[in-house]
Chain A
Amino acid sequence: MPKPQTDLLNGLTDDEAASILALGTPVTLPAGAVLFRLGEAAESMYLVRSGRIHLTLPIAIRGSNEDVLIGERLGGETVGWSGLIPPHRFTLKATAPVAAEVIAFPRAALLEHFAAHPAVAYAVTRNVASVIGLRLQVFQTMWTREMQRSVEARFS
């Protein structure tokens, strides 16, 4: 079975990727289903196989909290790295706007596999760090752009 194009399995051989994929459990999400909620304990990390996953945060609009889209993940992208990174608590809500399929990787199974295969652990951890770093840079840039607009609005 060829290795799927994912950001989580970069740098792994097909066998190493297959051993990681064997740890996961396919989950089918109908449209509108919630994958995880803000504040829940993060026991698993997910890989999107098909469909889309919306990441939202609540924003008060006219007195009621509405889930506002913060990010979107497509097939091949990783969702819920809080399952692998302490303090293991989700800081977003993940829903499927359309029917989607994900693979759930329990943290306990991953850590056990990493302990037995340090090279795989290093590659996967580096991939997760790349995902986290890229998202940090993107949100840092978005925040700076918002700050720039605030400065122009207040002090120009």
Chain B
Amino acid sequence: MTIRQSRSNPQANPGKDPRKDAGSGALPPGLRVARIVHFSRAHDSNQEDPAMMMFLSLLCISLLAVAVLSVIVYGTSPRDAARPDLRPETSLSLGQSQFFAGDLTAPPVRPPLPIAAVLAQLERHVRLEQASAESFVELPVPETLHAPASSRFLN
């Protein structure tokens, strides 16, 4: 009887141990050893299947329970009321890129004063300085020579 015949028709030899069958002289010696190992492993795994299935089932149920509890706890947490709104602004303006803009420490550029305003400041400065100088000429003491003038041109 060949191997194919033995597998396709197991009833052909009921009650006969396949290991014993493996040792029949119909197979070459290398195949006999492989067949013995195969049947030994299949027999052992068939015995551990129920325990493994139970373990996997318990693991799945535990994970499911943890997930459900997490959802429940997160949904009823009071953190939402105290947490500030962290949503990003939708109108974020990036402006002009200044990566290559040069010196970022430069002071902001002020619009220049109109010349009329400069002349007015100069005129006020001259008047104040002239008044201070005339005071010194009337009373020439060191204290009046460098008396401070409240000229905006100096400040």
Name the B residues within 8 Å of A154 (CB-CB). Answer: none
Asked if B79 CB lies within 8 Å of chain A CBs, one says no
The one of B123, B133, B145, B149 in contact with A69, judged by C-beta atoms closer than 8 angstroms, is: B123
A141 and B139 alpha carbons, distance in the complex (Å): 12
Asked if B152 CB lies within 8 Å of chain A CBs, one says no
B145 with A141: CB separation less than 8 A: yes
Between-chain CB contacts (< 8 Å), 17 pairs: A59-B122, A64-B115, A69-B119, A69-B122, A71-B126, A71-B130, A134-B137, A139-B133, A141-B133, A142-B129, A142-B130, A142-B133, A145-B129, A145-B133, A145-B149, A148-B146, A149-B154
B145 with A138: CB separation less than 8 A: no
Closest to B122 in A: A68
A137 with B137: CB separation less than 8 A: yes
Name the B residues within 8 Å of A137 (CB-CB). Answer: 133, 137
1/0 per residue, CB under 8 A from B, across A59-93: the answer is 10110101011111000000000000000000000
The one of A66, A71, A141 in contact with B115, judged by C-beta atoms closer than 8 angstroms, is: A66
Closest to B134 in A: A138
Closest to A139 in B: B133
Name the B residues within 8 Å of A72 (CB-CB). Answer: 127
Q: How large is the interface on A (under 10, 10 to 19, 20 to 34, 35 or more residues)?
A: 20 to 34
Closest to A68 in B: B122
**14 additional contacts (CB under 8 A) given A71-B126, A144-B145:** A66-B119, A68-B119, A68-B123, A68-B126, A69-B122, A69-B126, A71-B130, A138-B130, A138-B134, A141-B132, A141-B133, A141-B145, A145-B129, A149-B154
A17 and B47 alpha carbons, distance in the complex (Å): 145
The one of A61, A145, A146 in contact with B118, judged by C-beta atoms closer than 8 angstroms, is: A61
Asked if B112 CB lies within 8 Å of chain A CBs, one says yes
Min distance, Cβ B115 to any Cβ of chain A, angstroms: 6
Name the A residues within 8 Å of B137 (CB-CB). Answer: 134, 137-138, 141
Name the A residues within 8 Å of B149 (CB-CB). Answer: 145
Closest to A143 in B: B133
Name the residue among A71, A137, A145 with the largest chain B CB count within 10 angstroms.
A145
Closest to B112 in A: A62
Name the A residues within 8 Å of B123 (CB-CB). Answer: 68-69
Name the A residues within 8 Å of B146 (CB-CB). Answer: 145, 148
A148 and B148 alpha carbons, distance in the complex (Å): 11
Name the A residues within 8 Å of B145 (CB-CB). Answer: 141, 144-145
Name the A residues within 8 Å of B133 (CB-CB). Answer: 137-139, 141-142, 145
